[in-house]
Amino acid sequence: MTVMREDDIVTGGSMSVEESADRARDLLARYGHLQGISLIEPMVHEEFNGRITMTSSFGTEAAALLALVAEVDPNLPVIFLDTRKLFGETHRYREQLVDQLGLTNIRIMRPDETLLAAEDPKGMLFASDTNRCCFLRKVEPLQRALTGYDAWLTGRKRFHGGERGALPAIEAAGTRIKINPLAGYQRQDIEDIFENRALPRHPLEAEGYLSIGCMPCTDRAAPDSNDVRAGRWAGQDKTECGIHYII
Ligand code: SF4
């Protein structure tokens, strides 16, 4: 999948691509057997102190990782990409979770207005070029937000399938390291985190949405669907927005 043009790519971590690959191998050897809070703790407080952030969509499963991170460090920077195409329910859910979990460092990133005016003046680019739309509304803002960080925590899980089926707990991502504390979690593990911590649900979950992104590109999924992300870019071969190709 081509998401970024060559001249779009910005490298921003303090490591070279080779150093990042070496660091990921070393971290994986020492911490790869850990997950959840056991993995988040040493990454936040020892390995990347002050140089680590996390991204969150504030979608249906997002509260699980947010809750674990809040228990380790409620002031950890949390990057939220406001594409300006999100459901109003997602914004309200974000406010509810931030309040309940005591998160104190939410970084709301929005698309570059100049780029939008030049390439998507009517806000309809999603209808003709979803990859470019995702670049303008997600990838570019995230590239800016990641400046100054060497590592980021993501909420991806292997059970989501597709490219995520072989997801390691720790991986090199260009000039940075990505930590995936929930990589090995199953759907029931996520449910347990919600129940044990009395976490609220995204209001659209009850309406049949299993995975929630932008309004134009998110559909309900069949009630018996095993594919959590089936409703994202339904009918297209696109399965990822491209933020995980950032280097
Ligand atoms: S998910 Fe759809 S609307 Fe959102 S940025 Fe990507 S193409 Fe655009």
Beta-carbon-side half-sphere exposure of residue 65 (alpha carbons within 13 Å): 29
Please check whether residue 151 lies inside any domain of the structure: yes
Tell me, what CATH number does 78's domain have? 3.40.50.620
Two tokens, residue 158? 């292997």
Angle at the Cα of 121 (from 118 to 122), degrees rounded to 5?
Answer: 160
Residue nearest to atom 4 of ligand 1 (CA): 214
pLDDT single digits (tens) 189-202: 999 999 999 999 99
Residue 133 CA: which ligand 1 atom is closest? Answer: 8
Q: 119: CA distance to ligand 1 center in Å?
A: 14
Over pLDDT 70: what percentage of the chain?
A: 85
- The C-alpha atoms of residue 18 and residue 199 are separated, in whole angstroms, by 40
pLDDT at 122: 96
Predicted confidence (pLDDT) at residue 123 exceeds the cutoff of 80: yes
Two tokens, residue 224? 């018996």
pLDDT single digits (tens) 52-77: 999 999 999 999 999 999 999 999 99
As for how many domains the chain has, the answer is 1
Please check whether residue 1 lies inside any domain of the structure: no
Phi and psi (nearest 5°) for 177?
-115, 135
Q: Are 238 and 218 in contact (CB under 8 A)?
A: no
**Strand arrangement, sheet containing 176-179:** 106-109, 78-81, 52-55, 151-153, 176-179, 170-173
What residues make up the domain containing 97?
6-245
Q: 86: CA distance to ligand 1 center in Å?
A: 9
Predicted confidence (pLDDT) at residue 84 exceeds the cutoff of 80: yes
Please check whether residue 203 lies inside any domain of the structure: yes
Candidates 133, 134, 217, 241; catalytic one:
241
- The C-alpha atoms of residue 115 and residue 99 are separated, in whole angstroms, by 33
Beta-carbon-side half-sphere exposure of residue 81 (alpha carbons within 13 Å): 28
Please check whether residue 26 lies inside any domain of the structure: yes
